[in-house]
Structure 1
Amino acid sequence: MISQSSGMLGILELDEGLSECAALSPREGSLLNPATFGLPIITEIVEGALAERVIRGDASLEHACVNAAHRLVQRGASVVVGDCGFLIRHQDAISAAVDVPVITSGLLLIPTLLRQLAPTKKLAVLTADARHLGEELLGENARDRERLIIGGIEGGIYMRNTLAHPLVQTDLDQIEHEVGECIGQLRSQHPEIAMLLFECTGFPVVSKALRRKTGLPIYDITDLCALTLNAVLGRNPDLDPDGIHKGTRK
């Protein structure tokens, strides 16, 4: 039973090395920052979920994901969200195992975003590693594959730090530079791009800055979380009176 009077966001956190991660303060706009949604956040480590294993698609992690989701719900989570968009591989298993809404990835937004655009326009999906964002993660969206442009920042400093264990935090300026460069390259090759979706849960910390720079609508995991929390709890302090998530404003 989902509580309507109070709630918590439960996050399936990667196994990134607690000794160093514990010292890192969640940044503004981060999925892990309680101020992003104005609600308490609880986390559970998905045992063995190193970033490399999650990104590459290690099927053996599914049981650990389900167990961590169960622990979050037992602790009072009203919504369960994954701290890596590549956890979408386990969406069906996790959502079948718990009785609250499950959001494993911003990729779940793709069908809605494509329908927002004119048929001649394209949606660009930005990921930490495009080599592992294949057709199998697009599901039924593969039929609109010509309208989906995939871009990644693999080979950069952000990805190197993400794969480190313990996790190494990347400077905000570096994240903005790498993601911004990728966007620029994609737009030069595909001028029909009219909207961006950030798959990587590390990118929302630069969403606001890149909305201003690109002039394009940018969606990320926090937008889907805000929508779901508002639906479940009937409120969200981070929504403007007109119901728009503050982080989406330019």
Structure 2
Amino acid sequence: MTSPSTRPFGILLLDRALPPDVTLPMSPVGSMRNPATFDFSTISETVVGAYGDDVVRGDPRLGPAYAAAARRLVDRGAVAIGSNCGFTIRYQAAVAGSVKVPVVMSSLLLVPTLLRQLPTAAKLAVITFDTTHCGEDLLGVDDPAERARVVIGGVEGSQLWHNEMRRTPLPTAVADIEKEVAASVARLRAVHSDIGAILLECTVFPLVTPAIRRITGLPVYDITTLCRMTFASVA
């Protein structure tokens, strides 16, 4: 029998709308697309038709496509499943209901847990790709008092945002991503001095997680944090 620790972690990928004869260059370490990001093996399936702009806006028609791609990953041996867009939390129930392995579609699943880790007077900063599409319904927090402890900043309108919202996205330099994420964090901290931890929603942001930890001196969590924890639970 194959042990879970020798089986891969499955990753559901956005559709980059590439021509058939075009191959993307390898993404930097930290990206969900780069196998070197993790110290365990990964496999991936592109969710056909799941374009970044549609997923960010929450196209409900994509749920079945995500569920079907998740089943393909399980058929290939995936022991757990994640995704490379935080806004796919909208499809969490559809995917989790379609397979019998742990499913962690978004780092936003960590919001309730992180609030309980912090002192009750501290706030959790969520840095998202686009605040206009990151509503309260994605946070998993029903208690108004707890919801008030979550403050949200974003990078909409930035170069990264414009590049990723293209139907075929363009690469953004890691230095530019760091600058944009750090600026969003700084804006929140200028208003909320009681921020105790940071959660990065966008799956591009793990490229700069170490830099944000260094700049802020705060605990910083992202999708790779959740994927590692989930894989460890079945390894």
Give the TM bin, normalised by the shorter chain: over 0.9
**Which residue of the partner structure matches residue 139 of structure 2?**
138
Task: Find 1:221's aligned residue among 215, 220, 223.
Answer: 223
Output the aligned Cα RMSD.
1.6
**Which residue of the partner structure matches residue 61 of structure 1?**
62
**Which residue of the partner structure matches residue 4 of structure 1?**
4
Taking structure 1 as the reference length, the TM-score comes to 0.89
Please give the alpha-carbon distance, in whole angstroms, between the structure 1 residues aligned to 2:41 and 2:17: 22
Task: Give the counterpart letter for 2:204 in structure 1.
Answer: G
Task: Find 1:200's aligned residue among 199, 202, 205.
Answer: 202
Deviation at 1:26? 2.1
Deviation at 1:179? 0.4
Please give the alpha-carbon distance, in whole angstroms, between the structure 1 residues aligned to 2:214 and 2:36: 21
Please give the alpha-carbon distance, in whole angstroms, between the structure 2 residues aligned to 1:9 and 1:145: 32
Please give the alpha-carbon distance, in whole angstroms, between the structure 2 residues aligned to 1:2 and 1:186: 47
Please give the alpha-carbon distance, in whole angstroms, between the structure 2 residues aligned to 1:141 and 1:193: 20
Aligned residues: 233
> Mapping of 1:237-248 within 5 angstroms?
none
The answer to whether the Cα contact below 8 Å between 2:63 and 2:91 also exists between their aligned partners in 1 is: yes
The alignment-based identity, stated in percent, is: 46
Please give the alpha-carbon distance, in whole angstroms, between the structure 2 residues aligned to 1:148 and 1:51: 25
The answer to whether the Cα contact below 8 Å between 1:2 and 1:232 also exists between their aligned partners in 2 is: no
The gaps in structure 2 that reach 5 residues or longer are none
Task: Provide the secondary structure at the position in 2 that maps to 1:39.
Answer: coil
Does residue 85 (structure 1) correspond to residue 86 (structure 2)? The answer is yes
**Which residue of the partner structure matches residue 160 of structure 1?**
162
Task: Give the counterpart letter for 1:37 in structure 2.
Answer: F
Instruction: Decide whether aligned partners of structure 1 residues 194 and 5 sit closer, same or farther in structure 2, where only a CA change above 3 A counts.
Output: closer
Does residue 17 (structure 1) correspond to residue 17 (structure 2)? The answer is yes
Task: Give the counterpart letter for 2:167 in structure 1.
Answer: H
> Mapping of 1:87-126 within 5 angstroms?
87-126=88-127
The answer to whether the Cα contact below 8 Å between 2:53 and 2:167 also exists between their aligned partners in 1 is: no
The gaps in structure 1 that reach 5 residues or longer are 234-250
Deviation at 1:231? 0.9
Please give the alpha-carbon distance, in whole angstroms, between the structure 2 residues aligned to 1:71 and 1:172: 32
Runs of 4+ more than 6 Å apart: none
**Which residue of the partner structure matches residue 185 of structure 2?**
183
Query: Could you give the per-residue CA deviations for residues 53-81 of structure 1, whole angstroms, max 9, x where no partner exists?
Result: 10111000001010110111111111110
